[in-house]
Amino acid sequence: MRGIFYGIGVGPGDPELLTVKAIRAIEKVDVLIAPKTEKKDGSVALSIAKPYLKDDVEIVYQVFPMVKGFAENSTEAWEQNKKEILELLEAGKNVAFLTLGDPMFYSTYIYVYRLLEHEDIEIQTIPGIPAFAAIGSLMGYPIVEGDDVLSIVPATAPPEKVEKAVQAADNVVLMKVYKNFDEVTDMLARNDMAKQAVLVSRAGLPNEKIIRDIEEHKGEKLNYLSTILTRKN
């Protein structure tokens, strides 16, 4: 009998923010797939889930190189990862893929799901708390209220696309603010949204960083896991 494949969102960083359903799945699976980058050892998602791992769980690290136009151009590495997951499931093992935040929100899991969704296997996807929701609660910062319109924007998108999304909304969540922090800050200032902004880097993780005046911190190097919440004045 084939095992079940779980996609599990572990939230932004605090292990206590995992859902009960996520914890129960982690406690019963036989294998955990821990995604990692090619440049770094270890897995942030795995470190968050660590308090709930059973002693004999098998941990498999997989590297998922990102490529543009993934749907048409999945790489040999991705296909090998798929093959390894299917072999584990065929052996009757329940397998979980851990991902930061929510599995269906800017997640590597989305591409893994697309690789597996047409295979003859059972897939269960378990949602997790995205970073911006945790930051809103941490900072006492309402993300939207009343009839507010919210834009959630990856700061890695083309600058003109980012600015159009910002201008169209009352409230904004900017994700992945790290490479172009200064440019993003200037763009928010042009749109009268810099003074109201708060930035949190590595929310709920070691070395968490909170910036309440982003214009005063221009030039600082930020972690990839950096998010800005802001609104129109």
pLDDT tens track for 110-140: 999 999 999 999 999 999 999 999 999 999 9
Our count of domains for the chain comes to 2
Among 65, 94, 126, identify where a domain stops.
126
The residue out of 110, 126, 142 marking a domain boundary is 126
Question: Last residue of a domain, which of 107, 126, 145?
Answer: 126
Sheet bearing 95-99, strands edge to edge: 58-63, 31-36, 95-99, 4-9, 122-126
Q: Are residues 105 and 25 in the same domain?
A: yes
User: What pLDDT sits at residue 165?
Assistant: 96
| Model pLDDT, residue 41 | 61
Q: Which residues of the chain have pLDDT under 70?
A: 37-41, 66-74
For position 135, what pLDDT does the model report? 96
51 within 8 A of 15, measured Cβ to Cβ:
yes
* Same domain as 31, residue 92: yes
Task: For residue 67, give its domain range.
Answer: 4-126
**Do residues 115 and 208 both lie within one domain?**
no
Q: What are phi and psi of 47, to 5 degrees?
A: -65, -35
**Do residue 43 and residue 138 come from a single domain?**
no
Residues 6+ apart with CB under 8 A from 45: 10, 34, 35, 98, 99, 100
- Cβ contact 13:207 at 8 Å: no
User: Whole-model pTM?
Assistant: 0.89
Question: Given this model, what pLDDT does residue 71 score?
Answer: 47
**d(Cα 103, Cα 89) in Å, to the nearest integer?**
20
